[in-house]
């Protein structure tokens, strides 16, 4: 379990460093909040390549970790993001319910280092 926690931590650090590198003020395409976006060498194709070939693979592997498979949802609470009439018929939209028992792997304390 400790190995899994360390690997998950490393994945988060890796993705964070990749994202933070994109916002380095020394980079040509850096922009600050509420500022106009300057012309940049990147194209929609290069962004698609990065999203599809780099980021998607890493996020998919990260989301397969147990931490992201279990979470508690209050289905009676109003959705803060969009109107919800609970009429969606898509099978991909469903939420599988599980018992109130927390899986053993999630009960163990995680070692977090900074």
Q: Which long-range contacts (CB under 8 A, 24 or more apart) does 44-48 make?
A: none
How many residues does the structure list for the chain? 114
Q: How confident is the model at residue 81 (pLDDT cuts 50, 70, 90)?
A: confident
Q: Which residues contact 6 (CB under 8 A, 6 or more apart)?
A: 111
Q: How confident is the model at residue 7 (pLDDT cuts 50, 70, 90)?
A: low
* Cβ pair 103, 66 in contact under 8 A: yes
pTM reported for the whole predicted model: 0.30
Locus of tokens 């106009």: 36
pLDDT tens, residue by residue, 18-41: 555 555 556 555 556 666 666 667
Element (H, E) at 29: none
In this predicted structure, which of 3-7, 9-13, 79-83, 108-112 has the lowest mean pLDDT?
Answer: 108-112
For the chain, what are the domain ranges?
A: 1-28+44-78
Q: Does the pLDDT of residue 106 top 60, yes or no? A: yes
pLDDT tens, residue by residue, 38-78: 666 777 788 888 888 888 888 888 878 877 666 666 777 77
């Amino acid at each position: 379990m400790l190995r899994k926690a360390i690997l998950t931590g490393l994945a988060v650090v890796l993705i964070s460093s990749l994202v933070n590198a994109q916002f380095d003020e020394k980079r040509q395409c850096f922009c600050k909040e509420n500022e106009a976006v300057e012309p940049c060498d990147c194209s929609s194709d290069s962004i698609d390549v990065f999203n599809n070939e780099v980021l998607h693979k890493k996020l998919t592997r990260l989301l397969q970790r147990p931490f992201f498979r279990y979470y508690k949802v209050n289905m009676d609470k109003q959705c803060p993001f969009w109107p919800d009439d609970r009429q969606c018929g898509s099978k991909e939209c469903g939420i599988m319910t599980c018992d109130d028992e927390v899986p053993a792997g999630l009960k163990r304390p995680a070692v977090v280092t900074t």
